[in-house]
Structure 1
Amino acid sequence: MRFRPCIDIHNGKVKQIVGDTISDLGRADGQPKENFVADKDAAYYANIYKADNLNGGHIINLNMKGTKEYKASMEEAIKALSTFPNGMQYGGGVDDKNAKEFIDAGASHVIVTSFVFNDGRVDYDALKRISNAVGREHLVLDLSCTRVDDKYVIVTDRWQKVSKEIITYNFLDRLAYYCDEFLIHAADVEGRQNGIDRDLVGFLEVGS
C-alpha cells in the first residue's frame, strides 16, 4: 500500500470540500461545502510531500475552466508543481491542447475525465488524442463514481453529471490501453469524514 497525498485547490485556496457539493448552478452562493481552508499555499504542502518523498499524489483545480477563479487556482497549482517537479499529478480543465503544458510545468501525469466524455459516453477519439499528446505513461483517467442501485457509475464535470458508463472489469481493461493509472474517488463519501466506501474498494481489489 502507498500513501498518495492530495492538494485540492478552489478559488486559489487549498481546501477540503464535500465532493458532491460542487455546483455551477443551484446553490445560492455558488460555493461548495468546506471542511477545511488552509492558511498556507499549495507550494507549502508540495514541499512537505517532497521532503517526505511522497510521490504520486495529485493536485486538483476544482474551479470551472474559463473563470477567473480557475485562473487563480491554476497559478497555485503551477507553483506547487514547480516545487515538487515530477512528484505530483495535475487535474482540472485538462485537454489535448493544454495537457503538455502541465507536464512541462512539472506534473508527472495529467488527470482527465470530462474531456474524454461526450454525451455521457467515453469518446475514444478524444481519449486517443490526449493519450498521444502526452504519452500514455503520463496520463491518468479519473473514473470517480457514484453508486446507482448496485452499480458504480462514472461522474463527470467535477462530479456534477452522472454518465452512462458503468465501471466493470472489461471497461477498465479497455481503457488501460490508453493510460498509466486510474484515479477513482467514491463521490458519495468524499470529504464527508465518515470513512471509505468499502464496497467500492472491495470491488476494485477483487479486479486488481
Structure 2
Amino acid sequence: MTFFRPCIDLHQGQVKQIVGGSLSDQGAQTNFISQHDAEYYAGLYHQHGLQGGHVIALGPGNEEQVLKALGAWPGGLQFGGGVNHANAASYLEAGASHVIVTSYLFEDGQFSWARLDKIKQEVGVERLVLDLSCRQTNKGWQIATNRWQTVTDTIIDGATLAELEKHCAEFLIHAADVEGLQAGIDEQLVAKLGDWCSIPVTYAGGARSLADLKLVNQLSSGKVDLTIGSALNIFGGSGVTLEECIRWNQAEGAS
C-alpha cells in the first residue's frame, strides 16, 4: 500500500520548500522558509514514527543541519545531496538509514557503472537509494542531476529501472517539473513506476492534498509511496496536515 513519506529539504542552511524547476546556482523560487531547524522536523517525524523520510541538501552550506537531523533520529531518515563514495559511509555513521545518490553516478552526462560499483562497495546495496529525479522531454522522462539543472541522456523506463534495481534498496524519484507547484502529481509517471518497479519507490512532486495519497495508491496499485512537501501544514501549506498523513499511514499499516 502507498505510504506518506516525510521530507526535510535544506537550502542555504535553512529548511525550505522550493519550486524544484527554479533551482540554480543563483538561488531558487521559495515557497516556504521555516523558523525551525532540521533537528525539529526530524524529532517530529521520530515522535510519530514516520519512517523512510528523506533529508535532501540542495547545494552547499547545509552540513550542520544535515548532521542535526540525522542525529535526532538515528536510523529513521535517508540522506541525499552531494553523496559520493568518499563521504557516503560517514552519513551512515552519523545516523542515516540509507544514503541517496544521483549526480555522483554521472560523469560528463553519462551514467557510470564504475561509480555505482564504487559506492556499493562502501555502503552495500541494502543501504543505497538511487535518486532518479527527472524532467520530462520529448523522449520521455530523463534523469536530471546537479540540483535538477542538468538533463542527462538516461531515460526512465522499464528497462532502465529493471537494471538499476539490482543495485540498490530503493528508488527516490522527484518529478522536477512539478516539484513545489502544488498543481498535482505527474499521474502518468506514477502509474508507470507502479508497473515498472519491483523494489520500494518514493515519488515526490506536485502533491497537494490527502486525495493525492489515494490517487497514488490507486494509480500504482499501492507500489509507490508519496512525499508531500509544500502543501503540508508544517511547511506553511494548507492542502493537508501532518496529522492527516499520520492517520493515513496508520490506517494503511493496519489494513
Superposition map of 1:120-139 within 5 A: 120-139=109-128
Q: Work out whether 1:19 is the aligned partner of 2:30.
A: no
Q: 1:103 maps to what in 2?
A: 92
SS in 1 for 2:67: helix
Q: Contact 2:20/2:180 (CA < 8 Å) preserved in 1?
A: yes
The structure 1 residue matched to 2:42, chosen from 26, 46, 49, is 46
Which digits, 9 at most, give the CA deviation of each residue in 1:144-198, with x for residues without a partner?
A: 1111125111101110000000011111111112110110011100001111111
Tell me the percent identity: 49
Q: Work out whether 1:79 is the aligned partner of 2:68.
A: yes
1:6 alignment partner AA:
C
**TM-score, scaled relative to structure 1:** 0.92
Superposition map of 1:1-208 within 5 A: 1-24=2-25, 30-63=26-59, 70-71=60-61, 73-149=62-138, 151-208=140-197
SS in 2 for 1:189: coil
How far has the Cα of 1:39 moved from its partner? Answer: 0.2
| Aligned counterparts of 1:202 and 1:121: Cα–Cα separation in 2 | 27
Tell me how large the CA RMSD over aligned residues is: 0.9
SS in 2 for 1:184: strand
SS in 1 for 2:151: strand
How far has the Cα of 1:122 moved from its partner? Answer: 1.1
SS in 2 for 1:7: strand
| Aligned counterparts of 1:85 and 1:91: Cα–Cα separation in 2 | 15
1:157 alignment partner AA:
N
Which digits, 9 at most, give the CA deviation of each residue in 1:38-97, with x for residues without a partner?
A: 00000000001001100100000101xxxxxx24x1100100100010000000111000
| Aligned counterparts of 2:114 and 2:20: Cα–Cα separation in 1 | 29
SS in 1 for 2:79: strand
| Aligned counterparts of 1:106 and 1:146: Cα–Cα separation in 2 | 31
SS in 2 for 1:194: coil
| Aligned counterparts of 2:112 and 2:71: Cα–Cα separation in 1 | 31
Q: Contact 2:79/2:99 (CA < 8 Å) preserved in 1?
A: yes
Q: Contact 2:162/2:196 (CA < 8 Å) preserved in 1?
A: no
Structure 1 residues 19, 6: CA separation in 2 closer, same or farther (over 3 Å shift)?
Answer: same
| Aligned counterparts of 2:196 and 2:90: Cα–Cα separation in 1 | 34
1:97 alignment partner AA:
A
**TM-score, scaled relative to structure 2:** 0.75
Aligned residues between the structures = 196
1:98 alignment partner AA:
N
| Aligned counterparts of 1:202 and 1:177: Cα–Cα separation in 2 | 21
SS in 2 for 1:196: coil
| Aligned counterparts of 1:206 and 1:95: Cα–Cα separation in 2 | 30
SS in 1 for 2:83: coil
1:31 alignment partner AA:
G
Q: Which runs of 4+ in 1 moved over 4 A?
A: none
| Aligned counterparts of 1:150 and 1:94: Cα–Cα separation in 2 | 28
